Structure 1
């Protein structure tokens, strides 16, 4: 009888474990997350499999995200926001660093929004089943890394588009934490968030969970595993990214689209080598400052010579090198001009290299605006300034060439007129000499 009772207790304990969910609450009264793995799931860090998870947050939040991984770069991220019809949209995305994650249509094929999802009672909930997901750990890890972020300010998104462009999360609204997946077992491959065992259909942990939540010392919530905020030094770097983006974009935009063209016009229109040199020296200094900010920004976002920032960063580096070669070319051009009194091959190389660098710089500015997902107003402003300056420069080149051709034509006409006058005088002299001999 004693042995039989022990068996019953053991079976009951096992049943409780099988129905448990790992839970994490980021902030008191804020977002909460739950995860469960079917016993027969093949999910791991190397193979896709089934995982159930739930995101829940006040309906006043603009969006909430849950990610599989220890950091944004390389993470599998799921973003929840209102769809405008009383339900929610769940969007699977790939983390690329500290930029907006990209929608993954392939992963979406294995994502299902389950019963119990929606907006009700001031809360929005996404109960999700994913069969195309992989973990960043084994399925039995007691410290499986996950991340979370959210934006509590702003109006509701109200979109059914899974690729909707979201705004950056609020300051301090990010978390790195771990789930103890040994407490995240569910007995069958079915929705665990509306089970008859007492689990909540709002995305909370199952009422029969055997996982005892532990207080999170620095997140203000509870979790079935260990949890923490992002370390202050990492968070500070992360929150400085918008400032670096603005500084880099403004400095490089003004340098390439305004200052360098003005320097070229100073020589082309005003004809002042001193003014030309002064403006180009200032432009080169601002270029170096902007380039330094860009390199630091790319390092902070893990985009330096890496996708999706590969094109912008590589192109930007090459263009910067071209601009840095220009002062040397300018000095050689000036020195040879004084010696020869005209342009030399170095002169033409200097001029055309500068023009090529300007055009490439403007193109790369467009790539940077696209990468940073700048506002339409910012893109228009950059395009207008760059377009106007290029038009003015092109007109100055055409007008000066036309003036040079006219001057050359006038010189040729004068030369011919002088030649005719000399010939007429010689004829008159010869005629006078003939008359005097007679």
Structure 2
């Protein structure tokens, strides 16, 4: 009795395993439920190359659908499908793009269209690309990459006269309504089967889609960090060195530091969700973490400098460390903003941010230099106890007031019994003593 039951169970298990599709038959599959775009992939080895065998599906109502090799539109190798002139088949166009411009056809792609159809208002194309892997003159897939990035998009759903229906490979397409990124484990796509891949169901197989929230987080991150280092920090420096607005200075620097910290937290969040960057090994990521850590250290150093200066009335090693670290942090943050846009593959934007960073840095340094020179020429005292990220400047007050009331130009020299510090020189009169701990410096 038990022997019969055991044999029956073994037969059932073997029968179940036999009808399970093998890994080589599954390959990889991506499906986006919002746009109903589907993609299936096999890779097969032949004598001269590794072929990509693909099936792409997209709703006819979308106007067009596409997948592409790469993580951004710029330079990606795209396979775009749209209705052909007879409305019963599909035109397949291999294209690439410069920046976010309309993709243009590629002539050097060895692409074979196996079959196309439109069934139940769904466009289907089965294609094979024989030079889409390895080292090519265009973007290509790495069959050994377990996180090969692909992009996808669908059109705006044009109807009437705007509907795409042509056999031409270079027809102009309107900008996408839906798009995203997914990562394919190319090592799981190897197949010895002659069958073409088929999209089955709406699940992802050997694929990690990038969460739709990531592009938004990236934009917020970019706004936070470029705003902090190309606007707020330089404004804080100019407020102190040129206008002598002490409180405006430290408020701007504190705000910029908090925004930078927020930008780092956001960056860590979306990097952890992105299979391409979750190892945190990129130079932009490493520099970003270092910069924010330095900013937090700057806050502590600025406070210690302020307390020491109130007590002894002169700069210490803490003051100079705060001064030079601040200069380094701002320049490093500007550089990292440029590296961030470069990492995203946004070449025109990278050039634009680089130009802005150079201009802002140059203007800031000129104003700092002339601000310091103007202070020396007018006899205004130099030296500061307030937190600054690029330069220190301040003024003594008679009774420990931190209101900067004695710090403006044209207010005359300090009265007898008060101490003025200019470039480290003691300008006290005969018989005058150093200030007591009760006197504050702002």
Taking structure 2 as the reference length, what is the TM-score of the superposition? 0.52
**Most deviating of 266-275 and 392-401:** 266-275
CA deviation map 1:251-305 (0-9, x unaligned) = 1121111222222223212334433332222222222111111111211223546
In structure 1, C-alpha distance between the alignment counterparts of 2:256 and 2:28, rounded to whole Å: 55
Structure number with bigger Rg: 1
- The alignment's C-alpha RMSD in Å is 5.6
Deviation of 1:227 after TM superposition, in Å, equals 3.3
CA deviation map 1:168-195 (0-9, x unaligned) = 8816998999999999535xxxxxxxxx
Tell me which residue corresponds to 1:130.
Answer: 130
Tell me which residue corresponds to 1:114.
Answer: 112
Q: Answer whether contact 2:53 2:129 (CA < 8 A) is retained.
A: yes
CA separation of 1:21 and 1:388: change in aligned 2, threshold 3 A: closer
1:343 aligns with 2:326: no
Q: Answer whether contact 1:50 1:129 (CA < 8 A) is retained.
A: yes
Q: Answer whether contact 1:88 1:117 (CA < 8 A) is retained.
A: no
Q: Answer whether contact 1:113 1:127 (CA < 8 A) is retained.
A: yes
In structure 2, C-alpha distance between the alignment counterparts of 1:239 and 1:342, rounded to whole Å: 54
Tell me which residue corresponds to 1:416.
Answer: none
In structure 2, C-alpha distance between the alignment counterparts of 1:23 and 1:351, rounded to whole Å: 55
**Most deviating of 386-395 and 128-137:** 128-137
Q: Answer whether contact 1:36 1:185 (CA < 8 A) is retained.
A: no
CA deviation map 1:99-145 (0-9, x unaligned) = x9xxxxxxx99x7212668999x9795732437578789xxxxxxx9
Q: Answer whether contact 1:151 1:169 (CA < 8 A) is retained.
A: yes
Tell me which residue corresponds to 2:67.
Answer: 65
Matched position secondary structure for 1:185:
coil
1:394 aligns with 2:365: yes
CA separation of 1:322 and 1:180: change in aligned 2, threshold 3 A: closer
Of the candidates 226, 243, 247, which is equivalent to residue 274 of structure 1? Answer: 247
Deviation of 1:403 after TM superposition, in Å, equals 2.7
Where structure 2 has 5 or more consecutive residues not aligned to the other structure, the ranges are: 1-24, 86-90, 101-106, 134-140, 159-163, 381-442
- The equivalences for 1:349-388 within 5 A come to 349-374=321-346, 376=348, 380=352, 382=353, 386-387=357-358
Matched position secondary structure for 2:202:
strand
Q: Answer whether contact 2:232 2:253 (CA < 8 A) is retained.
A: yes
Tell me which residue corresponds to 1:285.
Answer: 258
Tell me which residue corresponds to 1:250.
Answer: 223
In structure 2, C-alpha distance between the alignment counterparts of 1:136 and 1:225, rounded to whole Å: 23
Deviation of 1:318 after TM superposition, in Å, equals 0.8
In structure 1, C-alpha distance between the alignment counterparts of 2:333 and 2:279, rounded to whole Å: 19
Tell me which residue corresponds to 1:239.
Answer: 212
In structure 1, C-alpha distance between the alignment counterparts of 2:212 and 2:246, rounded to whole Å: 44
In structure 1, C-alpha distance between the alignment counterparts of 2:253 and 2:40, rounded to whole Å: 58
Tell me which residue corresponds to 1:320.
Answer: 292
In structure 2, C-alpha distance between the alignment counterparts of 1:146 and 1:247, rounded to whole Å: 22
Deviation of 1:319 after TM superposition, in Å, equals 0.9
CA separation of 1:32 and 1:334: change in aligned 2, threshold 3 A: closer
In structure 2, C-alpha distance between the alignment counterparts of 1:148 and 1:389, rounded to whole Å: 35
**Most deviating of 358-367 and 48-57:** 48-57
Matched position secondary structure for 1:302:
coil
Matched position secondary structure for 1:227:
coil
Of the candidates 272, 290, 300, which is equivalent to residue 273 of structure 2? Answer: 300
